[in-house]
Amino acid sequence: MNNARYIKILGSADRQLEKISKDYLLSLNLAEMKTIQKYFKKEKKNPTDIELETIAQTWSEHCIHKTFKSKIEYEENGKREVINNLLKQTIIKSTRKLNKSWCISVFEDNAGIIKFTDDYNLAFKVETHNHPSALEPYGGAETGIGGVIRDILGVGRGAKPIFNTDIFCFGPLNLNFKQLPAGTLHPRRIFKGVVSGVRDYGNRMGIPTINGAILFDQGYICNPLVFCGTGGLIPANQCKKTVLSGDLIVAIGGRTGRDGIHGATFSSLSLDKDTKTSPVQIGHPIAEKKFTDTLLEARDKNLYRSLTDCGAGGFSSAVGELGKETGAIVYLEKAPLKYQGLLPWEIWVSEAQERMVLVVPPKKLKELLKLFSREDVEATVIGKFTGSKKLQLFYRKTRVCNLKMDFLHQGLPGIRKRAIWKAKKFKEPSFSQPGNLTKILKKLL
């Protein structure tokens, strides 16, 4: 099997940089590609395919929310203002200002945590899975709810999922097929697949869907809104996590395959009739149920220091986030595979489902592996966290990636956007006001 290949970006003109981004499905704009080009010019080398894929995943809309963090020139009724970071200037600012004591963990982990009782806190997470559900409704929705369940498992040192919730928005179910844009599934098919996907995944894990909402509108014909959420309970003393140099990187759960490759960068693209379904993953709720129970037992035995879900970038997002402050070294050939033939970059960024990464002190490894083996859950050491502040990946003794963590997580160039709001004017409805409002209210009820 080939190791990583080098991608020629040094000396490439703007048009060629844009072509590289498109050809490799990186979803990076020209400013981002030029920033990468500048970095590798200082490094005096061209990037490998796995280095480019890692940067694209880390800088994707799905993983870093660059639209929310962009600088927006906003205009309303002739008045202009500059919003430097939409998320920070609204939700985060209000939360920090209120500084409620019952907010235990906000904007810093896989889910939010609030105080529930003296002994337990409540973790909650919601996330959309729109693009995948538009292409493969059942699989997209199934893996959407599976992902937020793992986010609950991955908050703090692990919460126990106890309920699911959802909000769905679809196009009209009675839409004439002649009105469907090319390459678009009918809203009725999307509706049936999405509802079944969320229901089946939760039921097979023994997690009930306790409530939800649904809306039908013309605006959701091409791309539905599939909002999945999960809540869980976590012991009050298990909400903080840490990573130390020398800790081992242990992959648990499912094996890695090609399903889900480019799941992160895919979310930054606009859907069209040529969009492929390969970034949509296949769910396996029974496998997730098995490692859920085992994981919580390992937590209670204090067998690991930290953990996270293999999100939209697979090992790339999990190890990249956990090793952000320390650095990490990974041996890709050690990752358990569903089948042979995967290239190093495919092993690294695949979003194959039901996988998590644990941070394990070396002295706890033997007991942890014994526990997972007893429950027939695969657990494999694939590397360790270092003090190098670099992400270093090896495949069969060949180094295929060597990136500075600072550039990977802080190097994204700022985005500027312009927004104009024109308020619509509506005529006040003309009707005679009823005399007996109590009677009308009772009739409505």
Phi/psi for 251 (5° steps) reads -90, 130
Residue type for 181, please?
A: P
List 62, 131, 262, 284, catalytic entry: 62
Q: What six digits make up the tokens of 431?
A: 């009707």
Cross-strand bridge partners of residue 309: 356
Coil vs helix vs strand at 356: strand
Q: What is the rounded CA–CA span in Å between residue 227 and residue 233?
A: 21
Integer Cα distance of 18 and 23 in angstroms: 9
Q: Comparing C-alpha atoms, which of 259, 263, 258 is closest to residue 25?
A: 263
Q: CA 194, CA 224: separation in Å to the nearest integer?
A: 10
Distance CA 82, CA 72 (A): 6
**C-alpha closest to that of 193 among 129, 125, 103, 284:** 129
Phi-psi region of 383 (alpha: psi -120 to 50; beta: other; left: phi over 0): left
Supply 179's token pair: 């009105």
First to last CA, the chain: 68
3-state secondary structure 161-184: EEEEEEEEEECCCCCCHHHCCCCC
SS3 letters for 59-101?
A: CCHHHHCCCCCCEEEEEECCEEEEECCHHHHHHHHHHHHHCCC
- Give phi and psi for 36, each to the nearest 5: -65, -40
Q: 129 catalytic, yes or no? A: yes
The single-letter DSSP state of residue 337 is B
- Whole-number Å distance between alpha carbons of 100 and 102: 5
Q: How far apart are CA 358 and CA 405, in angstroms?
A: 19
Does residue 409 carry a catalytic annotation?
A: no
Evaluated on CA atoms 192, 195, 201, 205, the torsion sign reads negative
Q: Give the C-alpha separation, 41 to 33, whole Å.
A: 12
Q: How many CB atoms lie within 10 A of CB 431?
A: 6
Residue 443 has phi, psi (to 5 degrees) of: -65, -40
Active site residues: 62, 129
